[in-house]
């Protein structure tokens, strides 16, 4: 899965991108400079796939004392917006990276225009007035040469004049385009006179209506790298076939041999049970299938943050999967594993009952309250302790009681002893039901000699249950999440409608939960382990007197169990 190998000294060996960079440095390329960029298009929120790109773009710069800039690839005004620009900046910072400068491809619109004019003047670009369909039909196939456009050899002056008028808004969108004149018979389809400029009338979020002719990705990306002084332009594998064109335009631009950027491609991150295309994520948001980009079920960085994933766990995960030249799909269980591993170290342990039923300790004095000390984190004793109130009336989980229990039910059932976490051993004596047969109260007796820490507390008891005091606990809402999609790889299910693949039970809201009083102090995004239930965080929707928690991840992978059974 990963190409990150551990060498004998126990140090990580280089990934293939680091090897390339080190070789370039050894050979003295680009005056031994390292400069990278992270180039998002501001047309959506960042997802976990982008985090993988961010980690290598910024990581390479950090490792080789170089710089990494943030560059917004804003060449398509129709889909772009400042809302996305702001969210992208926030997410990169949350991941713990720092850019050197912020650039925009739109900063280079004039330079790109001048370069296009230069190519026209040299007979290397021309205005094509054919329809998009005709141009596509003339492209040929990888084994069959394309057909040259009848406009291919039109006079240079004509192309120059039309290009100018294209940008002045004289023509409708699609009426004509600018194409590079390269080779209609090339075995690389991207060389068959690629489109480099098109007309877009929609105002741009930065340049307004200054431009009506906009460069295509292939005519903006490499050139932007060049204008900025990027040395290593790292991107995903689908751009490998674009690399010859990237190099072609750099050759046309560069004035000497002292500097040229190089493109390096790595495998995209795909995760099971989710989608990673911005177009599909936008569709989920627009159709209200999720509650916004930061819905905790979304694979977006802001969704993960809201759900309670830590930036450290996301970075550890990316580190584990590594960078290769082969596309594949990573089991989301690996990401969840990284989340658990990190939260286990940092999350205070607290008590919460999400499906409460009352437990009355009949031999415990009415009105008596004991404050019991509990360890915040057994993995980190420096995290200290806090107190939890114990009293005669408690809540436990409904699932922790059975009236007629099978032999191996080690939880609460009449006649059996269980330990109440951090407090006493109690023996169940019975229960009360309402007219529908629903259990409304459970009864037990406690043994005062078994308080945690007392000599008798060592008695062998098979089950330990979590609980909260009825009078001292606080009401809370708890949101439980499951996979957003039922299909392991939804993007592969081409014959099925996207909607059919959604998991109808991806969100469960529990409104009658009880949490221990300590949680009144919780701040939005704070992490906790609810004993026996999983890791949770306080949702920013919480208000004074209304606590809302998200389940970040369960303690064990329930989904894997389901899969193993089937
Ligand atoms: P989408 O196809 O979802 O719209 P994109 O590739 O168009 O994504 P960009 O904003 O252009 O999104 O991506 C910025 C950078 O992030 C690019 O270098 C791109 O290669 C990288 N990137 C995007 N998706 C992934 C992914 N799933 N795994 C790794 N890197 C990714
Ligand atoms: Mg893109």
> Which residues fall within 8 angstroms of residue 494, CB to CB, at 6 or more apart?
none
Answer whether 281 contacts ligand 1 (Cβ < 6 A).
no
pLDDT (tens digit, 9 = 90+) per residue, 319-344?
Answer: 999 999 999 999 999 999 999 999 99
pTM, to two decimals: 0.93
Q: What percent of the chain has pLDDT over 70?
A: 96
Q: How confident is the model at residue 458 (pLDDT cuts 50, 70, 90)?
A: confident
Residue with tokens 């501001």: 42
Decide whether 8-266 matches 270-348+475-566 in CATH topology. Answer: no
Would you place residue 3 in the very low, low, confident or very high pLDDT band (cuts 50, 70, 90)?
very low
The yes-or-no verdict on residue 558 having pLDDT over 80 is no
Residue in the block written with tokens 């650039």: 103
CA of residue 3 to ligand 1 center, whole Å: 21
89-to-21, 94, 102, 495 alpha-carbon distances in Å: 26, 9, 10, 37
CB within 8 Å of 79: residues ≥ 6 apart? 41, 43
Question: CB of 192 closer than 6 A to ligand 1?
Answer: no
Q: What is the pLDDT of residue 9?
A: 47
Encoded tokens for 479: 């949101």
Q: Where are the beta strands (DSSP E) in 118-229?
A: 125-128, 177-180, 195-199, 213-215
What homologous superfamily does CATH list for 352-466? Answer: Ribosomal Protein L25; Chain P (2.40.240.10)
User: How many CB atoms lie under 10 A from the CB of residue 98?
Assistant: 12
Residue 488 confidence (pLDDT) above 90: yes
Q: What is the pLDDT of residue 459?
A: 81
Indicate the helix (H) or strand (E) that contains 527: strand 527-530
Residue whose CA lies nearest to ligand 1 atom number 7: 41
Residues designated as active site: 41, 268, 278
Q: Are strands 507-515 and 425-433 parallel, antiparallel or unpaired?
A: unpaired
For 119-156, the pLDDT digits (tens) are 999 999 999 999 999 999 999 999 999 999 999 999 99
8-266: CATH architecture: 3-Layer(aba) Sandwich (3.40)
Q: What Å distances lie between residue 258 and 20, 33, 236, CA to CA?
A: 18, 11, 26
Whether 174 has a pLDDT exceeding 90, the answer reads yes
Going from N- to C-terminal start, the domains of the chain cover 8-266, 270-348+475-566, 352-466
Given CATH 1.10.1160.10, say whether it is the number of domain 270-348+475-566.
yes
Lowest mean pLDDT among 50-59, 252-261, 460-469, 489-498: 489-498
With a 6 Å cutoff on the Cβ, whether 278 touches ligand 1 is yes
Q: Is the pLDDT of residue 550 over 50?
A: yes
Measured between alpha carbons, how far is 38 from 88 in angstroms, rounded to an integer?
Answer: 11
Average pLDDT over residues 271-290: 96
Among 91-95, 259-263, 283-287, 554-558, the range scoring the smallest mean pLDDT is: 554-558
Residue 444 contacts residue 260 (beta carbons within 8 Å): no
Determine the Cα–Cα distance for residues 309 and 142; give it in Å rounded to an integer.
Answer: 45
How far does residue 217's CA lie from ligand 2's centre (Å)?
8
The predicted structure's pLDDT at residue 11: 55
Residue-wise pLDDT for 464-478, tens only, equals 999 999 999 999 999
pLDDT in tens, 233-276: 999 999 999 999 999 999 999 989 999 999 999 999 999 999 99
Residue 7, pLDDT score: 43
269 lines ligand 1 (CB under 6 A): yes
Residue 86, exposed/middle/buried by CB under 10 A (0-12, 13-18, 19+)?
exposed
With H, G, I as helix, E, B as strand and everything else as coil, classify residue 547: strand
Ligand number nearest to the C-alpha of 279: 1
Confidence of residue 557 (pLDDT cuts 50, 70, 90): low
């Amino acid at each position: 899965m990963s190409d990150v190998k551990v060498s004998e000294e126990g140090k990580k060996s280089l990934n293939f991108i680091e090897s390339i960079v080190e070789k370039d440095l050894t050979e003295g390329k680009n005056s031994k400079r390292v400069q990278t960029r992270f180039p998002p298009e501001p047309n959506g929120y960042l997802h976990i796939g982008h985090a993988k790109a961010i980690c290598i773009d910024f990581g390479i710069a950090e490792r080789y004392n170089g710089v990494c800039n943030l560059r917004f690839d804003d060449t398509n005004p129709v889909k772009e917006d400042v809302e996305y620009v702001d969210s992208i900046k926030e997410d990169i910072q949350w991941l713990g990276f720092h850019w050197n400068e912020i650039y925009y491809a739109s900063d280079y619109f004039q330079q790109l225009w001048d370069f296009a004019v230069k190519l026209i003047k040299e007979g290397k670009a021309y205005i094509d007035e054919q329809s998009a369909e005709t141009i596509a039909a003339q492209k040929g196939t990888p084994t069959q040469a394309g057909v040259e456009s009848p406009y291919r050899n039109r006079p240079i002056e004509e192309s120059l004049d039309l290009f100018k008028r294209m940008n002045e808004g004289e023509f409708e969108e699609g009426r004509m385009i600018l194409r590079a004149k390269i080779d209609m018979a090339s075995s690389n389809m991207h060389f068959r006179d690629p489109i480099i400029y098109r007309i877009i009338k929609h105002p741009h979020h930065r340049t307004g209506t200054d431009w009506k002719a906009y460069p295509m990705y292939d005519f903006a990306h490499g050139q932007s790298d060049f204008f900025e002084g990027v040395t290593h332009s790292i991107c995903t594998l689908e751009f490998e076939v674009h690399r010859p064109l990237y190099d072609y335009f750099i050759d046309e631009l560069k004035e000497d041999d002292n500097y040229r950027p190089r493109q390096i491609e790595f495998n995209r991150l795909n995760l099971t049970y989710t989608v990673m295309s911005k177009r599909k994520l936008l569709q989920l948001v627009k159709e209200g299938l999720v509650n916004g980009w930061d819905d905790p079920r979304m694979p977006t960085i802001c969704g993960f943050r809201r759900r309670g994933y830590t930036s450290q766990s996301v970075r550890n995960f990316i580190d584990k999967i590594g960078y290769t030249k082969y596309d594949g799909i990573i089991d989301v269980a690996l990401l969840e594993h990284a989340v658990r591993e990190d939260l286990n170290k940092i999350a205070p342990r607290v008590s919460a009952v999400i499906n409460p039923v009352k437990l009355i300790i009949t031999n415990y004095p009415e009105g008596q309250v004991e404050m019991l000390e509990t360890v915040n984190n057994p993995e980190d004793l420096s995290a200290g302790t806090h107190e939890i109130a114990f009293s005669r009336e408690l809540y436990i989980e409904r699932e922790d009681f059975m009236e007629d229990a099978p032999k191996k039910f080690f939880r609460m059932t009449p006649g059996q002893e269980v330990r109440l976490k951090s407090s006493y051993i109690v023996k169940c004596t019975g229960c009360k039901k309402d007219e529908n047969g629903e259990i409304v109260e459970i009864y037990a007796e406690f043994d005062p000699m078994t308080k945690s820490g007392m000599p008798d507390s060592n008695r062998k008891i098979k089950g330990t249950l979590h609980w909260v005091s009825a009078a001292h606990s606080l009401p809370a809402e708890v949101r439980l999440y499951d996979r957003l999609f039922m299909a392991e790889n939804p993007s592969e299910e081409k014959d099925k409608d996207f909607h059919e693949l959604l998991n109808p039970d991806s969100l469960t809201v529990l409104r009658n939960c009880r949490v221990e009083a300590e949680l009144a102090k919780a701040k939005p995004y704070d992490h906790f382990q609810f004993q026996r239930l999983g890791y949770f965080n306080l949702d920013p929707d919480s208000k004074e007197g209304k606590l809302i928690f998200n389940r970040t991840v369960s303690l064990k992978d329930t989904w894997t169990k389901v899969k193993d059974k089937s």
